[in-house]
Structure 1
Amino acid sequence: MRFALSEEQSDLVATVRTLIAKRAASMDLRAALATPEGYDTSLWQTLTEQIGVSALAVPEAHGGVGCTYLEAHLVLEELGAGLAPSPFVGTLLATQILASADTPAAHELLERIAGGAAAALAANAAGSDLTDRSVRSETDPSATSPTASTQTWPMVIDGPGAEILLLVENDRLYAVDPAAAEITPAPALDPTMRLATLALAQAPDTAGDPIGTVDPAYVTTVGATMMTALQAGAAREALERTVAYLKERHQFGRPLGSFQALKHRCADLLVQVETARTMSWAAAWELTQETPDVRLIQAAKTWCSDAFSQVAAEMVQLHGGVAITWEHDAHLYFKRAHATAQLWKDVHAR
């Protein structure tokens, strides 16, 4: 493969990066998190309506742009760099799973996503077995039904506010009406990621519409690949901010960046960041193939997790005391590093 972006891909990256920077100037990250939606709705609207990010990986036959997953991966990397909260993670995951189902029902949902509808997939993102769920029985006061079983799926990324809600049950994929499910926002280590718990009072085959079949291991493969984009982008941005700070901060009459020991530490981090980016792109390219090499994707997820964790830790150390203040973004990158390291960490062959 060619590890370089085409002119069109470079333009896409530059456009998204510029848009995120402009929106950050009018609504910063903390203000976006404080909104009822938990993200900048104006940014998401511009991304979907003017740039068409939600339609990138949707085939033209279903109202999309007709690009590959790789272009959507590049957008995800830029969103990860700015820690910009948006429904794109859940929407892109749903897009890939619907595309793999390849049924008329899936095509209808893909058209809605291409039109800007936010989506989420109910799955256990902490591991490879995405059908794990808890089932609890509750006493029903009615005489005809003494008990009722409620099934719960944790870790639904971008579940709050999702217009399209997908559910994986064994190897079956269902579309559930969000209004028919109990979606409860869940606290997360990383406040920039929107998680929810999904509870259904009925079995999925009763509460939802069948969409098709899906390999749960493939869901994990897609999720792991997406996490590498968030990690590679955030690691790059964290290092750039750290280097900029070392150039500005003076100690003993000299910029901190002029000290050889700190130069060596930053050089080591640059190797980690550039390697993470290369491996993330390789994983994204694999995902576009008919039979992805899951070993490469597993290696990319492991490397990107370790690299981002190291960069985030050094970001805190090299910024000194200011990095441990709530107002500084260093702790957000640190939390993002540890949160994404735990999501979809086990990739198995299909």
Structure 2
Amino acid sequence: MKPQPTQPDLLYSEEEEALRAAVRDLLADHCDAPSVIARAESDAPHDPAAWKALADGMGLAGLLIPEAQGGQGATHREAAVVLEELGRAVAPVPYLTSAVVATEALLACQDEELLGRLASGRTVGVLAVGLHTAPGAAFPAVRLEAGALHGELTGIADAAAADVLLVPAADGGLYAVEAADATVTPQISLDLTRPLATVTLTGAAGRRIGDAEPAVRRALSAGAGLLASEQLGLADWALTETVRYLKDRKQFNRPVGGFQALKHRLAQLWLEVVNLRAAARGAADALATGHDIDVAVAVAQAYAASVAVRAAEEALQLHGGIGMTWEHPVHLCLKRAKADSIAYGTAGAHREALAELVDLRAP
């Protein structure tokens, strides 16, 4: 008799809850709302002190890297917990792009030298593929002429913070290029805490580390799956802060949160956030175990964007006038949620992919 597959345990373990508490405490010190808002208004949105604390102090930059290469040897479940907390704080650090996406590309290529550098946190790696690119979609590549790389790639998230760029080339290879050898030009970004840039290469030297297609596919799949946990953190923060505010805000000498119409809106949002938690945890567990990754990631991303955006929009509206001000952090949450809604593929792209995977295509 064929053994039945065991159901995944989507609950948080004690170790994961301890990790959550530690990361939340660290972010309370380094990424409080006024600090993040001030950085978003500056020319240097990335927070090197927060990144150093996460990478050096806690070793989280190497969470997905095996211990043999200097990492922690943890799983995507732990990385998902970290991303939930980073999402709650809208932390301006390149964790998703370096510790997840670039790391997964390097794991696919088995480049131990660069994995060791990223594990230390002292080197930030960025995959030079547009943030909007879905797993499995075609992606631009630069030219390889006489052993040097030439071309322009746009929409590269966190390129300004990168020390090493992982660049796909037209010969099918993935090349490691020192960021100092590239020209990185900032682009106008809706989400100022995860800025985009254009990367221009004019005869840059690169070291081929592997084949681009499987490495990029693996990296974008992990990025999309774990992005759902960041979106969960955003949505959970928006709901929690809105409930807290409506309990304190009074109108006609009674808490605004007691009005039935608002209670119904919050109850519906709570149900959606709970469902998002299940989808995000399912994607993280699938990435950790290797079971049904494509389906779990597509399900999570088909659902996550709309919930995160709606939670942020509800938070802004239900905070009233104060929610419209630049001083309140809800605008950071809304901009990140909107930017995330097209990151690593839109919800529509993931629904189409899911229809193909489960053979439920439209007639």
Q: TM-score of the superposition, structure 1-length normalised?
A: 0.88
Deviation, 1:242, is 0.6
Deviation, 1:194, is 2.2
Give the 3 Å change call, closer, same or farther, for CA 161–337 of structure 1 in structure 2. closer
Separation of aligned partners in 2, 1:149 and 1:97: 19
Task: Tell whether 2:103 aligns with 1:95.
Answer: yes
Separation of aligned partners in 1, 2:37 and 2:230: 19
Query: Within 5 Å, which residues of 2 pair with 1:101-250?
Result: 101-102=109-110, 106-116=111-121, 117-128=123-134, 129=137, 131-132=139-140, 150-169=150-169, 171-202=172-203, 207-214=205-212, 215=214, 216-250=216-250
* 2:35 maps to which of 3, 28, 40: 28
* 2:80 maps to which of 73, 79, 92: 73
Deviation, 1:71, is 1.1
Give the 3 Å change call, closer, same or farther, for CA 162–213 of structure 1 in structure 2. same
Separation of aligned partners in 1, 2:329 and 2:240: 13
Amino acid in structure 1 at the alignment position of 2:125: A
| Secondary structure of the corresponding residue to residue 319 of structure 2 | helix
Taking only aligned residues, the RMSD between alpha carbons, in angstroms, comes to 2.3
Separation of aligned partners in 2, 1:26 and 1:254: 28
Deviation, 1:300, is 0.5
| Secondary structure of the corresponding residue to residue 86 of structure 1 | coil
Contact 1:235 1:307 in 2 (8 A): yes
Aligned residue number for residue 4 of structure 2: none
Separation of aligned partners in 1, 2:32 and 2:87: 17
Amino acid in structure 2 at the alignment position of 1:169: A
Deviation, 1:306, is 0.9
Contact 1:125 1:220 in 2 (8 A): no
Count of residues in Structure 1 that have an aligned counterpart in Structure 2: 332
Separation of aligned partners in 2, 1:49 and 1:28: 21
Deviation, 1:250, is 0.6
Separation of aligned partners in 1, 2:279 and 2:33: 34
| Secondary structure of the corresponding residue to residue 289 of structure 2 | coil
Deviation, 1:23, is 2.1
Aligned residue number for residue 57 of structure 1: 64
Deviation, 1:272, is 0.9
Aligned residue number for residue 361 of structure 2: none
Give the 3 Å change call, closer, same or farther, for CA 86–130 of structure 1 in structure 2. farther
Separation of aligned partners in 2, 1:22 and 1:343: 28
Separation of aligned partners in 1, 2:124 and 2:34: 21
Contact 2:231 2:304 in 1 (8 A): yes
Deviation, 1:294, is 1.2
1:73-115 per-position Cα deviation (integer Å, ceiling 9, x unaligned): 211111011101102121121111111222xxx1110100111
Q: Point out 4+ residue stretches in structure 1 off by more than 4 angstroms.
A: 347-350
| Secondary structure of the corresponding residue to residue 288 of structure 1 | helix
| Secondary structure of the corresponding residue to residue 155 of structure 1 | strand
Deviation, 1:264, is 1.3
Contact 2:108 2:218 in 1 (8 A): no
Q: TM-score of the superposition, structure 2-length normalised?
A: 0.85
Task: Tell whether 2:48 aligns with 1:41.
Answer: yes
| Secondary structure of the corresponding residue to residue 160 of structure 2 | coil
| Secondary structure of the corresponding residue to residue 234 of structure 1 | helix
1:255-274 per-position Cα deviation (integer Å, ceiling 9, x unaligned): 10111221111111111111
Separation of aligned partners in 1, 2:289 and 2:167: 25
Deviation, 1:133, is 5.6
Give the 3 Å change call, closer, same or farther, for CA 26–127 of structure 1 in structure 2. closer
1:103-153 per-position Cα deviation (integer Å, ceiling 9, x unaligned): xxx111010011112111100221333522688xxxxxxxxxxxx995111
Separation of aligned partners in 2, 1:46 and 1:250: 40
Aligned residue number for residue 289 of structure 1: 289
Percent sequence identity over aligned pairs: 36
Contact 1:89 1:157 in 2 (8 A): no
Give the 3 Å change call, closer, same or farther, for CA 130–33 of structure 1 in structure 2. farther
Deviation, 1:25, is 4.8
1:204-231 per-position Cα deviation (integer Å, ceiling 9, x unaligned): xx73101012424333312211321211
Deviation, 1:332, is 1.8
* Structure 1 gap segments, 5+ residues each: 136-147
Contact 1:80 1:234 in 2 (8 A): yes
| Secondary structure of the corresponding residue to residue 201 of structure 1 | strand
Amino acid in structure 2 at the alignment position of 1:175: A
Contact 1:238 1:312 in 2 (8 A): yes
Separation of aligned partners in 1, 2:290 and 2:241: 38
